[in-house]
Structures are given as C-alpha cells and as structure tokens.
C-alpha cells in the first residue's frame, strides 16, 4: 500500500518536483514533464517518451544522455495531456524533429497524436512508434492492438541510440519500429496496487493465486492461476514467449536480451531466483543471452508482480544497444558528460490569449455556461467513488479521479474567463482547454473535444439558440468518433453520446425548446449508458479483459449520462440566457 502523501491530487506534481530536485545533473523541469538538463547537439532528433506517472523509472527516470531527451509525465496512471506533450516536445526539440514513443493505450494515443498534429502545424516534424510488446493483450493477428509494458525500454533505447548516432527522423523511426517488432513481453502479479489516498487496491488476487497477463495501470489480469514455484514461474514466462518469437528469428543461435522487470513490490532477491531458471531455459533452447537485465524498469506503483521481456537482436540492433546511457535510473557503459545547459528557462508554455470582445447577450449566456460547469463539478464530485469502482472492474479505476481533476480545472478556467467579461464561446473554450490539460487520459481528451466543439457554435455575440447548441453537440459527437475511433457498441462514452446527440437533434428539429429537447436526450443517454453493461468492450484498456466487464456499465458512458441529466436541470432553472 502507499503510505506517504500530502494531498492525493498533488502527488504526481510533488513527486516530479522532488525527482527533479534530486536529479538536476540529468533533468530540468518544464511544463508537462522533464527534459535533459545537458546540452544536446544541434540538429539531433529529440526522443520524447511519456505516459502516466506511477511507473518509475518510466518515464522521467529514463531521460538523459544516450536515452530520452524528454518525458511528458501525466498524472498517476493517466496519459499526459496534449498540452503537456506539446510543451515537452518544444522544449526538447534541437532542430532535428521529434520522435515520440509510448505504450499503446487509448489516452496516450489520442493525446500524443493531437500533440503531433500541433507540432507539425508549428513546423516541427514528428514521427511516432507505439510500443506493443504485451503478447497477452491481443492475438498475433491483431498485434497492432497490443499494449506496451516493460518492452518500452528496448524501443526507447534503440530510438535514442539511433539519434545519438546521427540518424535522421526517418532513420530513428525505422529502427525503433524494428526494435518494437522484435520485442515480446508477458507479466504476472500477486497483488494489485493502491494509489495515494485510496482505501483499497485497484484489484485484488485471492490468497495463493496469481493474476496472469496483467497491464501496468492496475488493470486486473486476463487469467488467474495458482502461484507456482520460482522455477515454475520462470518456465511459464519462457514458454509463453518462446511460443511467439518474431518472424525470421530462429531461437537456436539467436541473440536475445532478457529483461526481468519488477512491478513495484517484488524483491530483487526473488527475481534473481526466478532469473536463474530463465537463463537456464533460454540457454537450453539454444539462445545466446546478451546483457541480461533484472530490476525495476517499468513499475505499476506498488504492485507485487513481474514481467519478462525478450528482445531479439540483429547485428545493427545489438550495435545500437551498446550505446552508453546515463540517466537518473538507468546507466550502461561510460558516457562522456555533456555540459549543463546555461539557459534553463521553460519557454514552452505560451502566454494566455486575451479575452475576445463579447456583447451583453453573450456575456449573459456565459453565466449559464459557468452554471453548467458548476453543475458538472457537483455531479462528478457526488459520484467520483462509484465511477472509480466501475472503472476498476476491467480498467485502472481512475475514471472518477480523472473526471474530477478535469472538471475542477474547467470550472476554475471558466470562472476566470467569465469574470473577465468573456462571452459564452470563450468561457466554454477556456473550460475545455483546462479540462483536457489537467485531466489527461482518454476522458480528458474526449471531454476537451466535446466542449470545444459546443463552444464553437455558441459564439461571443448574441444569445445561442437551441439549434446552435444542438449543432455544437453534434459536432462534438463527430469529433469524438473521428478522434477516438470508437463506434456505438464498443462500450465507451460514445454509446451514450451518440444517442444523446441523435435525440437532441431530432427534438430541436421538431420544434421543442432547448430544455425539453435536452431532457429527452438525457433520458436517451441514461438508457443507453445502462445498456452498456451487456456489451463486451472493443476499445480502451477494458478491451483485453472481455468477460470481466460484462454486467458492469461503461464508466465513461455513465458519467456522461449523469452529467447531461444534471445539466438539463440547470438549463431549466436558467431559461432565458439560452433560447
């Protein structure tokens, strides 16, 4: 369990502050994460990694000479936001473009892709390779859907070594993709992990049992079995990984880097006992072991568990693997120390834009927007524990916390804007940007899209009418499906959002008032959200857990239904500012 914290909501920020204070020779803090504190050669490709906090030494601990140039660090188990990633990438860029790599999780993909688009628009070339090493999270035929676990180290190292060697962005990307294709991982756990302030672990394993095929975000295992002996565990790990070697690899004579990774609470001594048998089994199979790793490389907070990664080398990858590395948490070979940067100013965060002019009607509507955001906050606060409980069934249990972070940030931004005389559009746009930035993760990105699209139809002049609001909701729904790629039936927020949008548009087109149309649409969303209990997940972290989530509704769909229902009552109380 986690024992030491101040305010749980401040834990990640305070952790990063302490990490930087302890490792100033390697890293400096910038908005959204950390970058190297040493001089980077002009024109070198910047390797930017990232993900949620709670996985130390991933991701900040791997920033330094020979490895990453920067790490975007989200909240605990939550993807960094688009704004955070963009900020870190700009600070890390040395003129050679930015290469992104991270685990293949929905929130990370959404936010890194959006950041990549922003950077390209700003003239900074970018490329990406997502890490997909976990063999238990999808069949080989759908390897592109697999999640990234401890195998991220091999991809990060090869990409950074290629950058160090002077490869351009295309070359770095190609070598990283080859490393990913030749990396396989498989993990088990004996206990779940407990986030700061939480009363219980995100999942539990019965005494004497072991979760098989778990992720690194507190997701429960895909299977369960009795705890074997140390040798029995080694045999299970090796058997599973040797059953799926990369195409073109003949195990007999192949050179392989084994990485036995501790997930947070497993003792090193235990891992050494397990590794003893892993080494025997690999040698018996004819593999040649190169540079074995036993330790913590990608943890899951305080989870007791381990994963085995096998990285199958070729001549070029092995040469790159030998590149010296010096970071706060990972060192290999001897690195000639680079000079410290003289300029440590964080210039990545752009100044807040001025409040656009608005007329009296739109400022009156902005008061209703603010009241709606206040309602969202109150609704999320009232249901935060239940949303987390639902999410923990087949996910990582942080949906309620993420919604709480995002909505509170949105309220603060909306309040500031409205008090400064903003109209309805600007007030909601500021709320949307703050929500996506502070919440991170999938829900933060998607709620940012929804609110931004609605804002765009409200305008900063005149009183928004029902048609404008319905058009904004429809644009938000389209934005979510285009952005997140989910469809109705995938067991996501979309399963409630699309029925809400469809009914709202129908009712408004039929001549209903906004209040009446919104209420009927909220009822449709509520019904649809409840029906997600019968669905198998096809998107997001819950996808890997299949039947575990049947009987439990999707937390994103439920939170949306709760919010639109409550906002409907707020609109009813404030009829007049919106027509």
Q: Are residues 284 and 366 in the same domain?
A: no
Give domain status of residue 16, yes or no.
yes
Please choose, from the candidates 215, 246, 59, the residue with its C-alpha nearest in 3D space to the C-alpha of residue 149.
215
Q: Are residues 251 and 294 in the same domain?
A: yes
Please choose, from the candidates 206, 215, 196, the residue with its C-alpha nearest in 3D space to the C-alpha of residue 261.
215
What CATH number has the domain bearing residue 174? 3.40.50.10440
Q: Please report the pLDDT score of residue 541 as a whole number.
A: 47
Give domain status of residue 353, yes or no.
no
Domain limits at 398? 360-573
Q: Are residues 112 and 28 in the same domain?
A: yes
Q: Please say which residue of 280, 313, 346 terminates a domain.
A: 313
Q: Are residues 164 and 234 in the same domain?
A: no
Instruction: Give 355-380 as a 3 state SS string.
Output: CCCCCHHHHHHHHHHHHHHHHHHHHH
- The residues annotated with a catalytic role in the active site are 217
Q: Are residues 258 and 396 in the same domain?
A: no
Q: Are residues 132 and 38 in the same domain?
A: yes
Cα separation, 209 vs 400, whole angstroms: 29
Q: Are residues 252 and 377 in the same domain?
A: no
CB 214 within 8 A of CB 305: yes
Q: Please report the pLDDT score of residue 7 as a whole number.
A: 84
Residue 10 tokens read as 């401040």
Go through the chain and tell me how many residues it has.
579
Apex CA 133: angle with CA 131 and CA 134, to 5°?
A: 125
Q: Are residues 383 and 464 in the same domain?
A: yes
Cα separation, 397 vs 67, whole angstroms: 31
What CATH number has the domain bearing residue 375? 1.25.40.340
Q: Are residues 554 and 485 in the same domain?
A: yes
Give domain status of residue 348, yes or no.
no
Q: Are residues 505 and 447 in the same domain?
A: yes
Give domain status of residue 553, yes or no.
yes
Cα separation, 416 vs 410, whole angstroms: 10
Give domain status of residue 383, yes or no.
yes
DSSP assigned state of 547: G
Domain count along the chain: 3
| Residue 511 burial (10 A CB sphere; 0-12, 13-18, 19+) | exposed
Q: How does strand 46-53 pair with strand 70-76?
A: parallel
Q: Are residues 1 and 119 in the same domain?
A: yes
Give domain status of residue 579, yes or no.
no
pLDDT tens, residue order, the chain (579 aa):
678 889 887 889 999 999 999 999 999 999 999 999 999 999 999 999 999 999 999 999 999 999 999 999 998 888 999 999 999 999 999 999 999 999 999 889 999 999 999 999 999 999 999 999 999 999 999 999 999 999 999 999 999 999 999 999 999 999 999 999 999 999 999 988 888 887 778 778 888 999 998 778 766 677 889 999 999 999 999 999 999 999 999 999 999 999 999 999 999 999 999 999 999 999 999 999 999 999 999 999 999 999 999 999 999 999 999 999 999 999 999 998 999 998 766 655 555 678 999 999 999 999 999 999 999 999 999 999 899 888 877 666 778 888 999 999 999 999 999 999 999 999 999 999 999 999 888 889 999 999 999 999 999 999 999 999 999 999 999 999 988 888 999 999 999 999 999 999 999 999 999 999 999 999 999 999 999 998 877 655 444 445 556 788 999 999 999 999 999 999 999 875 555
Give domain status of residue 343, yes or no.
no
Q: Please report the pLDDT score of residue 196 as a whole number.
A: 85
What CATH number has the domain bearing residue 267? 3.30.1180.20
Give domain status of residue 506, yes or no.
yes
Please choose, from the candidates 429, 383, 389, the residue with its C-alpha nearest in 3D space to the C-alpha of residue 403.
383
Cα separation, 210 vs 212, whole angstroms: 6
Q: Are residues 421 and 535 in the same domain?
A: yes
């Amino acid at each position: 369990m986690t024992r030491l914290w101040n305010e749980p909501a401040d834990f990640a920020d305070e952790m990063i502050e302490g990490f930087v204070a302890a490792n100033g020779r390697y890293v400096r803090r910038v908005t959204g994460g950390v970058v190297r504190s040493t001089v980077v050669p002009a024109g070198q490709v910047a390797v930017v990694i990232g993900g949620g906090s709670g996985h130390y030494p991933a991701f900040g601990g791997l920033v330094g000479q020979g490895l990453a140039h920067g790490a975007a660090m989200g909240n605990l188990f939550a993807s960094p936001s688009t704004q955070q990633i963009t900020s870190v990438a700009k600070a890390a860029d040395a003129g050679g473009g930015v290469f992104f790599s991270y685990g293949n999780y929905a929130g990370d993909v959404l936010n890194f892709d959006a950041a990549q688009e922003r950077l390209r628009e700003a003239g900074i070339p970018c490329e990406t390779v997502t890490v997909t090493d976990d063999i238990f999270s999808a069949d080989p035929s759908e390897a592109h859907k697999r999640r990234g676990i401890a195998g991220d180290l091999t991809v990060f190292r090869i990409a950074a070594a290629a950058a160090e060697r002077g490869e351009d962005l295309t070359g770095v990307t190609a070598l990283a993709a080859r490393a990913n294709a030749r990396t396989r991982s498989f993990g088990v756990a004996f206990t779940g992990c407990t986030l700061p302030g939480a009363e219980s672990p995100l999942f539990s394993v019965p005494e004497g049992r072991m979760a098989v095929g778990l992720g690194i975000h507190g997701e429960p295992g895909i299977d369960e079995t009795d705890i074997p002996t140390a040798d029995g565990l080694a045999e299970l790990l090796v058997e599973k990984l040797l059953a799926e070697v990369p195409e073109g690899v003949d195990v007999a004579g192949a050179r392989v880097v084994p990485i036995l990774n501790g997930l947070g609470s497993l003792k090193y001594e235990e891992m050494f006992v397990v590794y003893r048998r892993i080494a025997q089994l690999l040698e018996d199979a004819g593999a040649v072991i190169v540079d074995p790793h036993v330790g913590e490389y990608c943890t899951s907070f305080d989870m007791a568990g381990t994963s085995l990664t096998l990285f199958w080398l070729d001549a070029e990858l092995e040469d790159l693997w030998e590149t010296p590395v010096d970071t706060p948490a990972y060192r290999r070979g001897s690195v000639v120390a680079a000079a410290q940067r003289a300029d440590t100013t964080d210039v990545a965060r752009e100044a807040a834009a001025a409040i656009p002019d608005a007329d009296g009607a739109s400022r009156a509507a902005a008061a209703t927007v603010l009241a709606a955001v206040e309602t969202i906050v109150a609704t999320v606060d009232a249901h935060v524990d239940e949303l987390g409980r639902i999410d923990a069934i087949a996910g990582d249990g942080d949906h309620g916390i993420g919604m709480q972070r995002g909505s509170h940030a949105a309220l603060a931004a909306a309040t500031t804007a409205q008090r400064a005389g903003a109209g309805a559009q600007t007030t909601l746009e500021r709320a949307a940007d703050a929500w996506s930035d502070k919440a991170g993760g999938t829900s933060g990105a998607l709620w940012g899209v929804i609110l931004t699209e609605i804002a765009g139809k409200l305008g900063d002049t005149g009183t928004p009418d029902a048609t404008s609001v319905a058009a904004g909701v429809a644009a938000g729904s389209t934005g979510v499906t285009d952005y997140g790629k989910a469809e109705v039936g995938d067991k996501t927020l979309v399963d409630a959002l699309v029925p809400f949008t469809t009914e709202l548009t129908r009712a408004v087109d039929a001549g209903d008032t906004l209040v009446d149309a919104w209420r009927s649409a909220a009822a449709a969303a509520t019904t649809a959200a409840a029906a997600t209990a019968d669905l198998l997940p096809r998107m997001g972290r819950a996808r890997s857990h299949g039947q575990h989530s049947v009987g439990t509704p999707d937390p994103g769909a439920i939170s949306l239904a709760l919010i639109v229902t409550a906002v409907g009552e707020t609109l009813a109380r404030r009829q007049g500012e919106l027509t």
